[in-house]
Amino acid sequence: MAPPHGTSRASARLANPALWASCLAMTLVYNNNGLVNVALPTIGRRLDADVVLLQWVVNAYALALGALMLTAGALADRFGSRRVVLTGAAVFAAASAAAAAAPSVAALIAAQGAAGVGAALLVPGALAMLAHAYPNPRERGHAIGVWASVTAVSFAASPIAGGLLIELAGWRAVFAVAIPFALALAVIGRRVEETPTRRSAGLDLPGQALAIVALAALTVGIVESGALGWGSTLGTGALLLAVAAGALFLAVERHGAAPMLPLRLLSAPGFAAGLAAGALLSFAMFGELFLVSLYLQDERGLSATQMGLAFLPQPVAGALLGLVAGRLMARFGTGAVLSAGGLCGLAGALLLTSLGTSTSYVRLVVSFVLFGFAFGGVVPAMTSAAVSAVRGPEVGIASSTLNAVRQAGGALGIATAGALLAGSNFLGGASVAMALAAAAMAGVALMGVLMHGSVRAARAH
């Protein structure tokens, strides 16, 4: 007997190689965060690195990813997303091999920066392939939900896998494990149909340079202000440079012939709110992951594997909500799901503002689950809003813009948390860091309200 028509369509959606290529690409990107954060205490001991240097092991990756993502989106629009994704997979594999063999923390930071370049090529291309493969908005929403869930499941496995790899094979294995995933992506990616191209799309080199300077200077300013003290010459100078470069970037994008960020996209209903939500979510969650990894291992004495198991409720909760996020958006609206996710994250962050050496695990689990729900709800909602707000040929630049601001937010979240934790009073710094994360999650909830209002106003006109 033939399966019901709906079942056949669902099976066809799940069998699409674009979906699984996108899932593999994002698994590579997000697993770097999950695996490396678990390994930070061990890397610090093996390579004699303090908290400031450990921040750069993570932030070199996040900075390269965030700063180059817009250009990667333009490349995907110009040359085709599949071609860009396959190139990114090759770069990521080579950088992971270099990180696994790094003889010093400086070499590891450089390899992580190169991995960020590969990741920058993967993210916009992967999402553009996904959007192109599912032109129907409802099917695209379901596919994005599956993508978010698979990404969350892989992220759920990464802390445990990272702990096991560290204990069985050493910290270098957390970088080497990316190589077979990159090879699998190369095999599946060749089966994906190439996306439409815009040969007229130019490369905005001045804008790219200013974006790198602005983001790097802002991160250096926060990191060094935390290490040297607020008001230090290096920290203050870097922050002023970031402001100047950011202002010049906006001017270049407004008047340039081929801007990598067409500012008119910000007027699309819900797009700007989705970008802000992405930056705020990443600020809170990257900072939380950095903090929790150090707290559970250095303050509570857990091993890397025990830390992974303790943290497991968060990504599992994100994966479970991601499975139904598409249906929730179809029923209640994207803005409502975004606001609900933000409120969950707000509650989770507030529970972590009073961490101590004897904080109950039940309290930690409740916080992790709430953060997981925030991720599972907010990521599909803001992604759907971004790729649905623009025309087909501009999906690459829209998705790259969203992920660029997410990575920028994440880099700043790690820098801020690291600056607050670098002092002698770890738990006091953790309290302030989580209060800032709570404020960011409140902002996510507000963006959901604004997104709902802008979409309704657009429909009324």
Superfamily for 16-191+260-460?
MFS general substrate transporter like domains (1.20.1250.20)
pTM above 0.95, yes or no: no
192 vs 456: which has the higher pLDDT: 192
Q: In 3D, which of 75, 74, 93, 96 has the Cα closest to residue 84?
A: 75
pLDDT given for residue 55 in this prediction: 79
List the chain domain ranges. 16-191+260-460, 205-259
Q: How much is the average pLDDT of 39-49? A: 87
* pLDDT of the residue at 2: 42
**pLDDT value at residue 357:** 82
Residues 6+ apart with CB under 8 A from 295: 355, 426, 430
**What is the reported pLDDT for 90?**
94
pLDDT at position 6 over 50: no
User: What is the per-residue pLDDT for 392?
Assistant: 58
Instruction: State the average pLDDT over residues 363-390.
Output: 84
Predicted confidence (pLDDT) at residue 98 exceeds the cutoff of 80: yes
pLDDT of residue 3: 45
CA 111 to mean position of chain CA atoms: 19
Report the amino acid identity of residue 143: A
Mean pLDDT of 240-261: 82
Q: Which residues contact 34 (CB under 8 A, 6 or more apart)?
A: 155, 158, 159, 162, 289, 315
Q: What average pLDDT does the chain have?
A: 81
pLDDT at 347: 95
